[in-house]
Amino acid sequence: MKQGHFPFSTLKILYFWARFPALLFPQKNKMTDLVYLNLHEKAHGPHGLIAGTTGSGKSETIQSYILSLAVNFHPHDVAFLLIDYKGGGMANFFKNLPHLLGTITNLDGAQSMRALASINAEIHRRERLFREFEVNHINQYQKKFKNGEATEPLPHLFLISDEFAELKVNQPDFIKELVSIARVGRSLGVHLILATQKPSGVVDDQIWSNSRFKLALKVADRTDSMEMLKTPDAAEITQTGRAYLQVGNNEVYELFQSAWSGADYQPDKDELGIEDHTIYLINDLGQYEVLNQDLSGLDLAEDIKEVPTELEAIVSQIQL
């Protein structure tokens, strides 16, 4: 049986946004054996570490996680602040996402202090709203917002740095303050995800103790794996996108394959109104061989100037 691409134009974004009142508690679907990363503080969160060497699929895994949150949760429920120290990286993929509050790309000189001032201002805003509505947790405030008692949305805020090792070396005070902000902001709905290619030597005690989940893709050596998981397992991974998810003291320890959203989006011909005239010969083992070449749809080739990735196609469907 041929497997086509899901027509993203049929995504029921508003349905998904209305389905979940808050971040889900962890669950494992026994039918599909899916593994969920849920950063609610009563589940896998609120903060965590991600590690993966070059070619491991680390950035793609983060992108797929951001995308899955954006599909399932309204911008009033989930928002992102992306820290792209090198610039021109992951943040560009999500520039049109309504959930994106902003990006931090230049932290040289006074820029780092201005960035911290902006983040601290958001923390103080949340504290003010909590006092005003006499709540002490993000869940309580969001309930009041959905009931119409509060008028200002306050989404879970995900602070995500795709390569914090270089940031820690060049801007150590920024990372230190960022971790401190995350510690204070856990009940305020602030989540910190720090990712790096090489965790050895950059994951200090403060970062480790504040990271409830660790997600390790293929790492360079046993030392890096031990730094993340306290086991050598991640050094033995051979497949791109394969990773271990560890929560707490091995409360969860799962090997899984991450989704990938970077493939070219090729919608089924049905979606384009094209009939497929390919003929297949199927043997007793269920294997098929193409007997002819399907040339239908070639007249539309001139209209297809550039093929978007699946990530780009989905982001284009996520609009307020």
Q: Which residue numbers belong to the known binding site for ATP? A: 52-59
- Interior/surface letters 281-316, b for 16+ CB within 10 angstroms, e for the rest: eeeeeeeeeeeeeeeeeeeeeeeeeeeebbbbbbbe
**Separation between Cα atoms, residue 59 and residue 51, nearest integer Å:** 10
DSSP three-state, residue 192: strand
- Residue whose entry in the numeric block shows the structure tokens 């011909």: 269
In 3D, which of 207, 278, 252, 185 has the Cα closest to residue 37? 252
**Separation between Cα atoms, residue 113 and residue 231, nearest integer Å:** 37
Determine which one of 41, 163, 227, 310 is catalytic.
163
**Is 163 part of the annotated catalytic residue set?**
yes
- List, as residue ranges, the binding site: 52-59
User: What token pair was written down for 99?
Assistant: 């959930």
Where in the sequence numbering do the catalytic residues fall?
163
